[in-house]
Amino acid sequence: MNFLRSPLNLGMIASYYNISHTTIERFSSSVTSKTKLKGLLEILASASEFEQLPIRPGEEESIKRLINHLPFSFENPKYTDPHVKANALLQAHLSRRMVVGNLAVDQREVLLSATRLLQAMVDVVSSNGWLSLALLTMEVSQMVTQGLWHRNSMLLQLPHLTEELVKKIV
């Protein structure tokens, strides 16, 4: 009798990208064919890999101020939740909002994990055959790499160009 089984798709994705089984399960159960950009960011920030993101004493106020200036609102945010912090740091990166001190260190960690997590999310979405959502997820991956929202001018990727200069050029 052969007890060896072939690995399941989600397990192979989790193993390939070195992410936790709880994260891959969350991606699989949370993403639907109707998920939009805000939902993708929330699902990404809910990854188990961000549970160890530290919330330092007094940092809640900085996170609260940061959240108040981001494009996507939070429903009853808990400022001591590392997943809320990860989402806020991701949105701040895409909005090119400067964070300093420990928040900048944490943002770098979030961005390093986000790239790998988004690649896994693309595989999960693709496995379900959702082409438009797979393309959106790839776009989010590009946005994280470029540090821009999809609606921003691509010229902002060039060094020393600001939104004011881009408006004058275009």
pLDDT, tens only, 4-50: 555 688 999 999 999 999 999 999 999 999 999 999 999 999 999 99
Closest CA relative to residue 147, chosen from 103, 110, 120: 110
Range of the domain at 152: 9-169
d(CA 142, CA 14): 21
**Count: domains in the chain:** 1
Task: Give the pLDDT of residue 81.
Answer: 92
- pTM for the model: 0.86
Is residue 45 included in any domain, yes or no? yes
Is residue 1 included in any domain, yes or no? no
Closest CA relative to residue 110, chosen from 136, 83, 134, 135: 83
Closest CA relative to residue 96, chosen from 60, 135, 149, 20: 149
pLDDT above 60 (res 69): yes
Write b or e for each residue in 70-99: b if 16 or more Cβ atoms lie within 10 A of its Cβ, otherwise e.
bebebeebebebbbbbbbbbbbbbbbeeeb
d(CA 83, CA 75): 13
Is residue 33 included in any domain, yes or no? yes
Task: Give the pLDDT of residue 113.
Answer: 94
The conformation of residue 69, written as its DSSP 8-state character, comes to T
pLDDT above 90 (res 3): no
Task: Give the pLDDT of residue 161.
Answer: 77
Here the CATH number for the domain that contains residue 133 is 1.10.3380.10
Residue 123 CB-density burial (10 A; 0-12 exposed, 13-18 middle, 19+ buried): buried
pLDDT above 80 (res 116): yes
Rg over CA atoms, the chain: 18
The pair of three-digit structure tokens given for residue 158, joined into one six-digit string: 């060039």
Comparing 89-93, 96-100, 137-141, the range with the smallest average pLDDT is 96-100
pLDDT above 90 (res 144): yes
Q: Look over the chain and give the mean of its residue pLDDT values, rounded to a whole number.
A: 89
Task: Give the pLDDT of residue 37.
Answer: 94
Comparing 14-28, 54-68, 144-158, the range with the smallest average pLDDT is 144-158
Task: Give the pLDDT of residue 4.
Answer: 57
